[in-house]
Amino acid sequence: MSRVITVSMFHSLSLGFPMITVYFINGSGGGFVSTVAVEQGTMLEGFVAQHLNEVGGGPASNYKIKVNREHQQGSYVLQNGDRVTVTPTKIEGA
């Protein structure tokens, strides 16, 4: 299992294993970007599942998931500097 650690964009973290920086963009109306340090080799599927679990967002099938503005498969291995966008396919009450 990969470890995901949210950090401020102005701090670095060294935990003894290779880390990369990924930008998580909230497409559900919150309008925020989080800088996240993840272990090299982290797959998109695991990264998104962990973030959705943290916010109680339900299954990934309820979201459009893009990396650098392009749709990617869950098996995509995140790269340093990737921008991951998770947008709900249906907004409650709309």
**Residue 63: how many CB atoms within 10 A of its CB?**
19
Domain-embedded: residue 17: yes
Domain-embedded: residue 61: yes
Q: Rounded to two decimals, what is the model's pTM?
A: 0.74
Total domain count, the chain: 1
Q: Which two tokens stand for residue 16?
A: 């003894």
Write out the residue range of the structural domain in which residue 26 sits: 4-88
* Stronger pLDDT, 21 or 59, i.e. the higher one: 21
Residue 70 has pLDDT above 90, yes or no: yes
Please write the tens of the pLDDT for every residue from 10-41.
Answer: 334 455 678 999 999 877 666 678 899 999 99
CATH code assigned at 26:
3.10.20.90
